[in-house]
Amino acid sequence: MELNKYLPLTETTYYILLSLLEPAHGYIMMQKVEELSNQKVKIAAGTMYGAIENLLKQKLITAVKSTDKRRKTYVITEKGREVLRQDCERMKHIVQITEKFLPLEITRDGGMENV
């Protein structure tokens, strides 16, 4: 399966897919994204629902049955999991090569600096 056309994922899309390893509706997804990103990524409702539509079209997520009739619930598909895995591997490589050529040292105050 050729998945390179989905890569690289945006940071927002990456966190949305990660948030859907367990079924969730939009509001829960928004909360999970904030939690997973240490509050660095916050998604507005309009942005979330646009992203959901795109991910549904790409078949990276799917709607699932829910007992809550007021909210649609989604979960990542196997294709979405594979795209997430591949992007994770891509980022691991970026980090490894960067650390090789640009070693970082943790400072006493918890920050990072070049050595």
**Quick one: CA torsion of 30, 62, 86, 42, rounded to 10 degrees?**
-10
Q: How many domains does the chain have?
A: 1
pTM, entire model: 0.86
In a domain, 53, yes or no: yes
CA distance 40 to 8: 19
CA distance 22 to 7: 22
The pair of structure tokens assigned to 60 is: 């990276």
Per-residue pLDDT reduced to its tens digit, 61-95: 999 998 888 899 999 999 999 999 999 999 999 99
In a domain, 94, yes or no: no
Whether 6 and 83 have beta carbons less than 8 Å apart is answered as yes
In a domain, 76, yes or no: yes
In a domain, 70, yes or no: yes
| Residue 114: partners with Cβ closer than 8 Å, 6 or more residues away | 102, 103, 104, 105
In a domain, 9, yes or no: yes
In a domain, 114, yes or no: no
Instruction: Identify the CA nearest to 26 among candidates 48, 57, 51.
Output: 48
In a domain, 61, yes or no: yes
In a domain, 42, yes or no: yes
- Which domain CATH number covers 49? 1.10.10.10
- DSSP symbols for 66-111: -S-TTS-EEEE-HHHHHHHHHHHHHHHHHHHHHHHHS-EEE-TTS-
Per-residue pLDDT reduced to its tens digit, 31-66: 999 999 999 999 999 999 999 999 999 999 999 998
Q: Which domain holds residue 75?
A: 4-85
